[in-house]
């Protein structure tokens, strides 16, 4: 895929429900948020790589006092998911019974409608 590595292109892909990272062509490092310059070897050659949605819960916390926009979801969990590709993302879930360290989960993008960096799509687990 030769589309330029931009946050606008990232959002455009996220809106279709697909999670893409940038990948350095020289050393293979994956970056999310996507980066034009590799943080490991400083190469400026990067491409898009679609990530799968499977990973494990590496850590989590349960939120009882939320920011206003999430008041309707209380209590909810915020979990750090490590995807199979090694990329880590935060996801919210109201399925508290799934919150176990090491639990295999599938990630789903639930809201990628915001387009302004540094706002970020939301993820949940299914």
Applying CB under 5 A, the span of 1-9, 33-41, 63-71, 109-117 interacting with Zn ion comes to 33-41
Size of the site for Zn ion (CB under 5 A): 8
24 is a contact residue toward Zn ion (CB under 5 A):
yes
Q: Which residue, 26 or 111, has its beta carbon nearer to Zn ion? A: 26
25 is a contact residue toward Zn ion (CB under 5 A):
no
90 is a contact residue toward Zn ion (CB under 5 A):
no
Measured from the CB of residue 60, what is the shortest distance to Zn ion in angstroms? 31
> Which member of 6, 17, 41, 50 binds Zn ion (CB under 5 A)?
41
User: What tokens were used for 17?
Assistant: 């429900």
43 is a contact residue toward Zn ion (CB under 5 A):
yes
Q: Which residue, 41 or 74, has its beta carbon nearer to Zn ion? A: 41
Report which of 79, 91, 80, 10 is spatially closest to residue 51, judged by C-alpha positions.
10
40 is a contact residue toward Zn ion (CB under 5 A):
yes
In angstroms, the Cα distances linking 14 to 24, 62, 108, 110, 121 are 20, 26, 10, 9, 8
Report which of 107, 116, 117 is spatially closest to residue 82, judged by C-alpha positions.
107
User: 92 Cβ partners below 8 Å, 6+ apart?
Assistant: 70, 73, 76, 77, 78, 79, 122, 123, 124
Q: Which residue, 45 or 106, has its beta carbon nearer to Zn ion? A: 45
Instruction: Tell me the pairing of strands 46-50 and 20-24.
Output: antiparallel
Give residues in contact with Zn ion (CB under 5 A).
24, 26-27, 29, 38, 40-41, 43
């Amino acid at each position: 895929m030769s589309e330029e590595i931009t946050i606008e292109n990232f959002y455009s892909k996220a809106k279709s429900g697909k999670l893409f990272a940038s990948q350095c062509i020289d050393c293979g490092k994956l970056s999310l948020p996507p980066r034009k310059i590799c943080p490991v070897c400083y190469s400026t050659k990067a491409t898009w790589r679609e990530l799968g949605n499977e990973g494990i819960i590496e850590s989590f916390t349960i939120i009882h006092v939320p920011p206003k926009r999430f008041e309707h979801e209380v209590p909810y969990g915020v979990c750090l998911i490590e995807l199979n590709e090694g990329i880590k993302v935060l996801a919210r879930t109201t399925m508290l019974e799934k919150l176990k360290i090491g639990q295999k989960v599938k990630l789903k993008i639930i809201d990628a409608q915001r387009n302004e960096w540094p706002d970020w799509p939301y993820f949940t687990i299914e």
